Amino acid sequence: MRTSRRIAALIVVPVAGLGLTAVPATAATTLTVASDGSATYRTVQAAVNAVPAGNASRVTITIKAGTYRESVVIPADKPYVTLEGLGSTAAATVIVNNKPASTAGTTGSATVYVQAKEFYGKNLTFSNDYDEAANGSSQALALALYGDRARLGNVRLLGDQDTLLIYNKARAYVWSSYIEGTVDFIYGNGSAVFYACQIYEKRSTGGYLTAANTDASSPYGFLIYKSTVTGAPANLTYLGRPWGAAGQVTVRESTLSNTIRIAQPWTDMSGNPWQGARFYEYKNTGAGATINSNRPQLTDAQAANYTPQKYLAGTDGWNPAG
């Protein structure tokens, strides 16, 4: 199991030469995707390529139910893009690929790589179905968020190692969604709130839910809030470990199943002791929740500073749930 990480340089997919025409955006622009040819575009990437560079208003890309086996990159000069699945559930529309970081690089392995700000994903699945048990341990990202002010609502994030990366100090709000993986499957140096989410450790030998690399100057990393944590193993899953020495994670008012290690749910990483990181709990319940010297708890007064609004406000007062 690796104890260090290298984040690859940004990958930009050029549009020139692809024979695609950018669609001028208006406040209500919608582009349509269906693999069966019943929409304007057959692939998600083709629709993204049609979004004009420097777009200043929301473009919604609707995706007909089905499986889209491709890699998607939303470059930094295409903000305000929404990917919306049209199926009856998030499971009905799946963007999936099978690429490990061992051959493609960290961000190159991501099925969907968002470099642009103001991304919104809704009612669909992001998946990387690389099987580390069968093919060898490797990072294999389902989604990499590098753009600030991202929102994910009613999505599924499926992978093994490193399912979701939030990097470039980006902020993300994730709600009513499902996230699964094996090792460090929520990680990065960004700030994110996971509200009313289901988080599942699928490896029978356990693993680590989070690996935060929060900058020491930032008070906020990841907040798991009013969510449910379950898993395949009993008493083997860690809430997290510090990829960076100042990693910050708070788990509050959530239901923790018996998958969580009762005696010590935090552990060391890359020479960084968990005690030196900023790991907190507050009013959690369930078989995996308890209070002891290895489980730092916020006081009521401290908890007032560890809310979704505090995590996401930044300097611009962003309030995606407002």
Burial class (CB in 10 A: 0-12, 13-18, 19+), 1: exposed
Catalytic annotation on 215?
A: no
On the 0-12 / 13-18 / 19+ scale of CB atoms within 10 A, 147 is buried
Instruction: Give whole-number Cα distances, 140 to 71, 101, 157, 177, in Å.
Output: 12, 6, 12, 20
The SS3 call for residue 301 is: helix
Rounded Cα distance, 261 and 140, in Å: 25
The amino acid sitting at 204 is S
Residues 77, 160, 184, 300: which is the catalytic one?
184
Q: Looking at 162, 215, 300, 316, which residue is catalytic?
A: 162
- Contact between residue 242 and residue 274 where contact means Cβ atoms under 8 Å apart: yes
Residue 125 DSSP code: E
Rounded to the nearest 5 degrees, what angle is found at the Cα of 264, between the Cα atoms of 291 and 164?
Answer: 105
Task: Please say if 184 is a catalytic residue.
Answer: yes
Three-class DSSP category at 309? helix
> Taking Cα atoms as reference points, which of 151, 199, 153 lies closest to residue 179?
199
Alpha helix (H) ranges present in 81-125? 101-104
Task: Give the H or E element holding residue 62.
Answer: strand 59-63
- Which residue in the block uniquely carries the two structure tokens 């693999």? 35
Q: Please write down the HEC assignment for all residues of 152-191.
A: EEEEEEECCECCEEECCCCEEEEECCEEEECEEEEEECCE
∠ CA 215-190-227, rounded to 5°: 120
* Residues assigned a catalytic role: 162, 184
